[in-house]
């Protein structure tokens, strides 16, 4: 039993099918590990009774001969997805103790596939952050060095996988919140094409950017999970695309001979630390050994992605979070004078500083006299950024570079300088603004023996190509198999 947390999703699924271990035993093992490593701050809520009930149901499915690939596999969900059996807080005091009457579509689909929910995972408040220090319930610590951040906003998900507290987890990616923590924690994560996975039941931050995706040890595991997550949801999510679900595992194992890997010159320019650059160059050399061809491309508006994102995302956040006013949704102040006073005090008490900051920025750029000057201009540049990618894809099949310019920094290192966190998103933001699929895989180690992640970006609906490129790299290397000491 002690080795269960060392197994991949695929390997654990095989043991479950062979009845070498039961779903109940697997769930109990991971619940015990989560309790033993509670100091990492990864989990916000567990419900052993609900988890074991799901596990017993999974064992019955296996006993009846159900051959679905994920039946009985334990998984944990980022606390941005609403769930019936667990509290849903989005890492905020605004929703402390909230219980949803329904499951998010992603949660429901994974449950229908047979997964067993272990609990809810910590995240930056309303998914706003790059370090998981913005959670109202305390920061998450990186298992590779507990003095460092795990990345955000899906930091709890990344740490749960890296530390062996769950075989896999769900995350959400608005501007890099799957890829950046995957990089910092040495795991694999993928954000599909915008609209591939339903946003129904995912507590909204920025509606035109938010997208769900899986986080696990390997590309093979992510392919299994993404196959269950994706698919149209027209009755519940108007942004859901009418693209049928795929079995992404069918894309794995293809040759990389002749694959054109585009390396944007802007992704390896000044600002990337030497240790990250070295790991990325070594990864690119490995791809060339596997038959891929390196091509230099350009994404000339890369630097503009930061101001564009931090206009568009806060603007959408100011609208989405306006529902949390103390009347129907969220925390209500205990004492107030009139209705306006209740609004002010409820929101001031319920929202953290970073959320308040982004709401204020968003409200400003949408206000009369500034909408045209800021928001409209940002949307125009967003379109240009998407066009830059299409020009690049005329020369290459996959775009590759670092997921972040440095390895994970120390907790509190950026202090009261939110711009330092914003700048760390420079390589993940362009793909998010364009709505492209992107993923991150472990590609080496840098300063302080901390993981370095390699980002792969594909054209629309090319998740299979990305997963295959990642899978072949992982067959040739062992970075995804390495674990933080003591976990």
Q: Nearest CA to 221 among 65, 403, 439, 437?
A: 439
280-327 tens-digit pLDDT: 999 999 999 999 999 999 999 999 999 999 999 999 999 999 999 999
CA count, 13 A, side-chain hemisphere, 61: 24
CB-based contacts of 328, cutoff 8 Å, min separation 6 = none
Q: How far apart are CA 123 and CA 42, in angstroms?
A: 8
Angle between helices 274-289 and 463-476 (to 10 degrees): 90
Query: What's the mean pLDDT in 202-224?
Result: 98
Q: Where are the domains of the chain?
A: 4-258+462-481
Cα–Cα separations (whole angstroms), residue 215 to 56, 125, 172, 350, 440: 25, 19, 10, 29, 10
Assess whether pLDDT exceeds 80 at residue 344. Answer: yes
pLDDT over 80 at 124, yes or no: yes
Topology (CATH) of 4-258+462-481? Amidase signature (AS) enzymes (3.90.1300)
Which pLDDT score, from 0 to 100, does residue 328 have? 84
For residue range 252-280, list pLDDT tens digits in order: 999 999 999 999 999 998 889 999 999 99
Half-sphere exposure of 85 (CA within 13 A, CB side): 18
Which residues fall within 8 angstroms of residue 121, CB to CB, at 6 or more apart?
A: 42, 43, 44, 76, 77, 78, 79, 154, 156, 157, 160, 169
DSSP state, 192?
Answer: P
Is residue 416 scored above 90 in pLDDT? Answer: no
pLDDT band of residue 1 (cuts 50, 70, 90) is: very low
> Distance from first CA to last CA of the chain, Å, rounded?
15
**Which residues, in sequence order, are bridge partners of residue 211?**
173
Q: pTM for the complete prediction?
A: 0.96
Instruction: Locate 342 and state its tokens.
Output: 């209740």
Closest residue by Cα to residue 213 from 396, 408, 58, 436: 436
**Residues designated catalytic:** 78, 153, 177
Burial 38-74 (b: 16+ CB within 10 A, else e): eebbbbbbbbeebbbebbeebbeebeeeeebbbbbbb
The pLDDT of residue 417 is 82
pLDDT confidence band for 249 (50 / 70 / 90): very high
- Please state, in angstroms and as integers, the Cα–Cα distance from residue 173 to each residue in 16, 142, 183, 348, 420, following that order: 30, 19, 13, 26, 19
* 233 closest CA partner among 321, 88, 107: 107
Rg (CA), the chain: 21
- Tell me the pLDDT band of 19, cut-offs 50, 70 and 90: very high
Distance CA 155, CA 22 (A): 29
Give me the helices (H) in 64-178, please: 105-112, 155-162
Hey, what long-range contacts does 351-355 have (CB within 8 A, 24 or more apart)?
351/92, 351/93, 351/94, 351/125, 351/321, 351/324, 352/92, 352/93, 352/125, 352/134, 352/136, 354/124, 354/125, 354/128, 354/129, 354/134, 354/418, 355/92, 355/125, 355/126, 355/128, 355/134, 355/317, 355/321
Q: Are residues 38 and 251 in contact, defined by beta-carbon separation less than 8 angstroms?
A: no
Please list the residues that pair with 116 across neighbouring strands: 74
Per the CB < 8 A criterion, the answer to whether 30 and 5 are in contact is yes
């Amino acid at each position: 039993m002690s080795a269960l947390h060392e197994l991949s999703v695929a390997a654990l699924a095989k043991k479950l099918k062979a009845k070498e271990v039961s779903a109940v035993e697997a769930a109990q093992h991971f619940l015990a590990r989560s309790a033993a490593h509670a100091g990492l701050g990864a989990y916000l809520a567990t419900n052993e009774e609900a988890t074991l009930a799901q596990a017993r149901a999974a064992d019955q499915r296996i006993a009846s001969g159900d051959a679905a690939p994920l039946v009985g596999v334990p998984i944990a969900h980022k606390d941005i997805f609403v769930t019936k059996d667990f509290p849903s807080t989005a890492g905020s005091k605004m929703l402390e103790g909230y219980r949803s009457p329904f499951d998010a579509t992603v949660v429901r689909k994974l449950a229908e596939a047979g997964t067993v929910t272990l609990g809810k995972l910590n995240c930056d408040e309303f998914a706003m952050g790059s370090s998981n220090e913005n959670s109202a319930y305390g920061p998450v610590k990186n298992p590779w060095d507990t003095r460092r951040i795990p990345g955000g906003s899906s930091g709890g998900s990344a740490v749960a996988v890296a530390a062996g507290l769950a075989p896999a987890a769900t995350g959400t990616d608005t501007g890099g919140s799957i890829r950046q923590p995957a990089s910092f924690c040495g795991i694999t994560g993928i954000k599909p094409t915008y609209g591939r996975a339903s946003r129904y039941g995912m507590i909204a931050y920025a509606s035109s950017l938010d997208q769900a995706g899986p986080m696990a040890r390997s590309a093979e595991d992510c392919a299994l999970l993404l196959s269950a997550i994706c698919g149209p949801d027209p009755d519940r999510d108007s942004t859901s695309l009418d693209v049928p679900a795929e079995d992404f595992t069918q894309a794995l194992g293809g040759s990389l001979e002749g694959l054109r890997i585009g390396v944007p010159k802007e992704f390896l320019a000044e600002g990337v630390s030497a240790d990250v650059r070295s790991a990325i160059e070594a990864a690119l050399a490995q791809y060339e050994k596997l038959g891929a061809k390196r091509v230099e491309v350009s994404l000339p508006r890369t630097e503009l992605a930061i101001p564009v994102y931090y206009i568009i995302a806060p603007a959408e956040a100011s609208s989405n979070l306006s529902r949390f006013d103390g009347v129907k949704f969220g925390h209500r102040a205990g004492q107030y004078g009139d209705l306006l006073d209740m609004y002010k005090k409820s929101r001031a008490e319920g929202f953290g500083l970073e959320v308040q900051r982004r709401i204020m920025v968003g409200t400003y750029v949408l206000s009369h006299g500034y909408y045209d000057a800021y928001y409209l201009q940002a949307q125009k540049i967003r379109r240009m950024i998407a066009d830059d990618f299409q020009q690049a894809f005329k020369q290459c099949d996959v775009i590759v570079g670092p997921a972040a310019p440095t390895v994970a920094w120390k907790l509190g290192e950026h202090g009261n300088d939110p711009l330092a966190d914003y700048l760390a998103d420079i390589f993940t933001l362009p793909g998010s603004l364009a709505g492209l699929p992107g993923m991150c895989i472990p590609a080496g180690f840098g300063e302080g023996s901390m993981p370095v992640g390699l980002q792969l970006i594909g054209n629309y609906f090319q998740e299979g190509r990305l997963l295959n490129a990642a899978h072949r790299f992982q067959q040739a290397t062992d970075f995804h198999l390495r674990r933080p000491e003591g976990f």
